[in-house]
Amino acid sequence: QVQLQESGPRLVRPSETLSLTCTVSGGSISSYSWSWVRLPAGKGLEWIGRINTSGSTRYNPSLRSRVTMSVDTSKNQFSLKLTSVTAADTAVYYCARLTASATEWFDPWGQGTLVTVSS
């Protein structure tokens, strides 16, 4: 059974870069696409972007200018970088696998990691 685990700093200073890594275990990262989703406190889920194992990406237009995703198939990991963060980027960040058929959906999800932007 595939499991995902987010890791990275829990506290980031304003204007700096948020960096997270998702490690996939129990299966290969290949042949799937992978995503990041966040949940700000008191708000709803927000999709950040996706990446496949060829490195092809697609980002949420509202975050595109600040987001970079990458993948390391040798480590079964993919990563997120979000630049110039502000307090509005404080959220629980989830990584998830995209499963495809006629369309795509997120399953499974990682447990999530709370990242706080504060000085």
Partner 1 sequence: SYELTQPPSVSVSPGQTASITCSGDNLGDKYACWYQQKPGQSPVLVIYEDYKRPSGTPERFSGSNSGNTATLTISGTQAMDEADYYCQAWDSSTVFFGTGTKVSVL
Q: Which residues bind partner 1 (CB under 8 A)?
A: 35, 37, 44-47, 50, 58, 60-62, 94, 99, 101-107, 109-112
**Least separation in angstroms between CB 108 and partner 1:** 8
Contacts (Cβ under 8 Å, ≥6 apart) of 14? 85, 86, 87, 117, 118, 119
CA gap 71, 21 in Å, rounded: 9
Residue of 43, 104, 110, 101 whose CA lies nearest to 79:
110
**Least separation in angstroms between CB 112 and partner 1:** 5
Report the residue number, 8 or 17, with the smaller CB distance to partner 1. Answer: 8
Report the residue number, 35 or 77, with the smaller CB distance to partner 1. Answer: 35
